[in-house]
Amino acid sequence: MSAEFRLPVGGRIDRAKPVRFTFDGKSYEGFAGDTLASALIANGVHLVGRSFKYHRPRGILTAGSEEPNALVGVGRDEAHYTPNLRATQVEITDGMVAESQNRWPSLAFDVGAVNDGLGRFLPAGFYYKTFMWPAGAWAKFYEPVIRRAAGLGRAPQAADTDRYTQRYAHCEVLVVGAGPAGLAAALAASETGVRVILCDEQAEFGGSLLHERDTVIDGRDAEAWVAEAVATLCSRENVRLLTRTTAFGYYPHNLVGLAERVTDHLAAPGSDLPRERLWQVRAREVVIAAGSIERPLVFPENDRPGVMMAEAARIYANRFGAKPGNRAVVFTASDSAYRAALDLKAAGVEIAAIADLRPDPTGAVVERARADGIRVLPGTSVQGTSGRLRIRSASLGAVVGGATETVPCDLLLMSGGFTPTLSLFSQSRGKMAWDEALEAYVPSVSVERERSVGACRGIYGLAEVLADGHAAGVAAAGKGASDGAARRFTVDAEELGHSGHRGITPHRRDASRVKAFVDFQNDVTAKDVKLATQEGFRSIEHVKRYTTTGMATDQGRTSNINALAIVSDALGKSVPEVGLTTFRPPYTPTTFALFAGQARGELFDPVRTTPIHDWAAEHGAVFEDVGIWKRARYFPEGGEDMHEAVARECRAVRESVGIFDGSTLGKIEVVGRDAAEFMNRMYTNAWAKLEPGRLRYGVMLREDGFVMDDGVVGRMAPDRFHVTTTTGGAPRVLNHMEDYLQTEWPDLEVWLTSTTEQWAVIAVQGPKARQVLEPLVEGIDLSREAMPHMSVRTGHICGVPTRLFRVSFTGELGFEVNVPANYGRAVWDAIFAAGQPHGITPYGTETMHVLRAEKGYIIVGQETDGTNTPDDVGLGWAVGKAKRDFVGKRSLARPQMQRPDRKQMVGLLTSDPATVLEEGAQIVADPNAPLPMKALGHVTSSYASSVVGRSIAIGMVAGGRGRIGETLHVPMPGGAIAVDVVEPVFFDKEGERIHG
């Protein structure tokens, strides 16, 4: 059985394909091709929502994406639920579940509607005036209550399981909007062979031509012309057609963001299709064919369900075969509503009267209406309406005095004329200008390479619109523009003027007591806008923010011009003097998921792993994030916690041998005949005399003299250095080096190559390290004499080439085995096997930290915070005093950098050896001093050391080296902890083990 208000014939719906859906739990039937709005209208349903602030019953106002009222939540379950969708854009699918929003307990009976009666206590700026005090109540009470009371849809409760993708695309011409102007532009541009992308937010191309009944273009009726145009475009390989695709944002250099809704209109989409696809289109030229939007009239009680834009009613009847009501009153200031009245009358809607604000409406369509027997009331306005959940009557009265007449109706169609859609043009930073003749803002000065065509620049006649689109298409394609063959379209269509009305319509009610809505979505009335001007707001941008008019998700597309006119009247200024607010992206609400795209789950961010990662995972490593690297932190055995595991790993390194994955270490190969000179300038150390085969610990400063990075550097050849950096510092150091090389010293013959990922690095540390490695190495003498501490040799290990470093960050005899990365795992396995007789123990970064702290080796970024000189952290010895210059040298000479009371690195020992200080804790001289007391410094590293047999800590303390031997205090919530200041070396103070 067909729905009650479904017309027997006509429309672009597919009557062979019924579609069942539910709205607020009730089942309805529509047809393929219906939107949720058209299907509800066909079922006689107009009440679809409650307003934002007053919870007034609201109906479907428009038939497009500008819809302010009919916001619904759609989704068969929580994982697919989307709130705040415009029912006018939602295509129904079989089994769709939709619900209204912002009502409790039900749409017909909503407790929040009490706000409507309290209206005069909720004026403009109400939030700003009322919820000021006490401040603490804002977060706890006001905001949650207001959010609930004045909210729109609810957020879904489950993670979105749909797929979203993104695509970059390039074209010579992007055409936004596929109405007559856009289609003509796309046809003309694509004919030249350039790449054209045509997008439209609707399910099918054609725009206004899809609901024309008697229009003929070039001898074909409008629908046939559209079909042929689309078929032509389809056949061209240089054209990409995107329906259901909203151009939501215009970004610099002609980058336009398109949101394509790929599967929402399908009942059972394949799981491999994305729900939405983001297109980032870089277009040489953009043609904006965004059309225009009909303006509501601002009259008392203009928001009841059943009050609808006249053109929208015409769309529902002509395009969707849905009758919006049985008896309509038409209220208009333009000719177009007469055309709507005639079409609706033809569809079986009784037209009770046309109230025309104009004193003397004339013209063909007006005469046609009169001839058709429609009662036309010139100089008449709507004084008010009645009806709770649906309009019941309209009260009509002459603009200049006289009696009022109550006309029963279930539909009120209004038309204040059309407003060009400037959103995208405004987003492109183009300047808009007020056109006196058109009485509209139109595009004026472009900033980007774009052009507006058709109704969005105030051209309304269909023949002119088509010609305008065609000319713009040719010009945008940049080919054949010179021949200037402007194309003519032969059009047979109703000629309509472009008159209209802006602002409040005249009425004889008490203006302080009626609600005449300007912004339906944010519940802003004419009274609110006037109040704002009375309270001193002059700028339209301020009025907008104070009243929230135009700030809803529809961006005020139905309300801006009316608000502007009210402000203009109230201030006695012309509309251009008042100005226009700026449009911002997105054009319509856009899902977060669209922007996230594929960047979810494992693709949220790259996770960098080393060649040895899988081994560590197989051996139960606990990983930590270092930047986007995963590093093994420790390897717990048999239920050990971190402290137990770290204690065991530390002992193994000190007593026998440990193995550590150092592959994440940054590596840069510095090569060229000026390599040593370059190193001299970049690092504090002296490099000229470092012989090939030797290593040196290097310190790098920023220009301000503070420590930026450190690392061991090997001289592989006179013109080749193997530089290592911290794991996190690698990209920064390479940038820093390239910056100086390219901008300061382009004369140097030296080049930098990142080799971080070329080498897997396996640290073998401990007294047995040499014994483990010796059987595996060929061509390198590992003996103490042949390969002393801080030397590097090349040779082979396990048959693969290696750069073998003898270096230690543990204070033990140690080696770092560099092998080409793909061999990393095999060599690690071999070393691990070879180390078994010695109980070789894998250790992680936490153990590495403890081992180095026991030796007082700093970690850049832990001991340092970007404000420390080399001397502050005990690295004064690494500064080549005799060097002519290096980055940061001049800064180190500043008096402040040499003050004796700078924070200096010291060791800290608690009185109770079991107490482990908290890293970051402050250090003071006297914990009983009055507050606020001066902190002398802070704890940078603190561990329980199983090897030393007690807790150890490193801190940065003002004049710290001069305080060695003193007792200081670390105030903590449980009381101050006394600490002795000591040299920051806790183990093997003589440093003999490293030479073992």
> Which residues of this chain interact with another protein, rule CB under 8 A?
163, 165-170, 195, 270, 272-274, 280, 282, 598-599, 602-603, 605-611, 629, 669, 671-673, 749-751, 753-759, 775-776, 798-801, 819-823, 825-827, 829-830, 833-834, 837
Question: Are 512 and 527 spatial neighbours (Cβ–Cβ below 8 Å)?
Answer: yes
| Least Cβ distance, residue 702 to another protein (angstroms) | 25
Q: How far is the CB of 80 from another protein (least distance, A)?
A: 18
Q: Which residues contact 664 (CB under 8 A, 6 or more apart)?
A: 608, 610, 626, 629, 631, 727, 756
Question: How far is the C-alpha of 57 from the C-alpha of 68, rounded, in Å?
Answer: 13
Place of tokens 């209209």: 500
Centre a 10 Å sphere on the Cβ of residue 886 and count the other Cβ atoms it contains.
Answer: 22
CB of 663 to another protein, least distance (A): 9
Give min distance, CB of 334 to another protein, in A. Answer: 45
- How many angstroms separate the CA atoms of 349 and 308, rounded? 14
Q: For residue 882, what is the DSSP state?
A: T
Report in angstroms how near the CB of residue 754 gets to another protein at its nearest: 7
Distance, CA of 291 to CA of 468 (rounded, Å): 13
DSSP-derived letter for residue 730 is: H
How many Cβ atoms are within 10 Å of 791's Cβ, its own excluded?
Answer: 16
Closest CB 670 distance from another protein, rounded Å: 9
Cα→Cα distances 372→55, 321, 351, 408, 916, Å: 40, 22, 11, 21, 94
At a CB cut-off of 8 Å and minimum separation 6, what does 387 contact? Answer: 304, 305, 306, 393
- What's the CA gap between 322 and 10, in Å, rounded? 9
Residues 6+ apart with CB under 8 A from 750: 670, 671, 672, 673, 674, 675, 677, 678, 741
Residue 582 or 598 with smaller CB distance to another protein: 598
Nearest approach in angstroms of CB 608 to another protein is: 4
Give whole-number Cα distances, 312 to 201, 331, 460, 782, in Å.
Answer: 16, 14, 17, 87
CA-to-CA distance for 772 and 406, rounded, in angstroms? 102
Tokens (6 digits) for 880: 């080549």
In the complex, least distance from residue 861 CB atom to another protein, rounded to whole angstroms: 20
Which residue number, 167 or 488, has a Cβ lying nearer to another protein?
167
> DSSP code of 898?
G
Tell me how far apart the alpha carbons of residues 112 and 51 are, in angstroms, rounded to a whole number: 10
The nearest distance, CB 272 to another protein, in angstroms, is 5
Radius of gyration of the chain (CA): 38
Q: To the nearest whole angstrom, how small is the minimum distance from the Cβ of residue 755 to another protein?
A: 6
* Pick 86 or 244: Cβ nearer another protein: 244
The set of residues, in sequence order, having a beta carbon less than 8 Å from that of 623 and lying 6+ positions away, is 616, 617, 630, 631, 632, 633
Q: Which is nearer to another protein, 190 or 946 (CB)?
A: 190
Q: What is the DSSP string of 782-814?
A: -STTTS-SSEEEEEEETTEEEEEEE--SSSSSE
Q: Please, which residues have CB within 8 angstroms of residue 753's CB and are 6 or more apart in sequence?
A: 668, 669, 671
> Token digits for 900?
């004796």
**Phi, psi of 80, rounded to the nearest 5 degrees:** -115, 10
Q: How far apart are CA 22 and CA 26, in angstroms?
A: 5
Judged by DSSP in three states, 856 sits in coil
CB of 749 to another protein, least distance (A): 4
Minimum CB distance to another protein, residue 742 (Å): 11
Check if the beta carbon of residue 477 is closer than 8 Å to that of residue 188. yes
Q: How far is the CB of 730 from another protein (least distance, A)?
A: 11
Nearer to another protein, 245 or 332 (CB): 245
Nearer to another protein, 672 or 693 (CB): 672
Q: Write the CA distances from 759 to 11, 134, 842, 846, 859, integer angstroms.
A: 69, 61, 19, 22, 22
Q: How far apart are CA 331 and CA 409, in angstroms?
A: 12
Q: How far is the CB of 825 from another protein (least distance, A)?
A: 5
Residues in the chain: 996
Taking the complex as a whole, the smallest distance from the CB of residue 633 to another protein amounts, in Å, to 18
Nearer to another protein, 193 or 402 (CB): 193
Taking Cα atoms as reference points, which of 371, 355, 373, 370 lies closest to residue 412? 355
Minimum Å gap between C-beta 675 and another protein is: 9
Taking the complex as a whole, the smallest distance from the CB of residue 82 to another protein amounts, in Å, to 21
Min dist. Cβ of residue 95 to another protein (A): 23
Looking up tokens 């992680």, which residue turns up? 844
Contact between 430 and 408 under an 8 Å Cβ cutoff? The reply is: no
Neighbouring residues of 468: CB distance < 8 A, sequence distance ≥ 6 = 181, 184, 453, 454, 457, 459
Can you read off the two tokens belonging to residue 54?
């007053």
Pick the closer one to another protein by CB: 466 or 676.
Answer: 676
**Residues 407, 353 contacting (CB under 8 angstroms):** yes
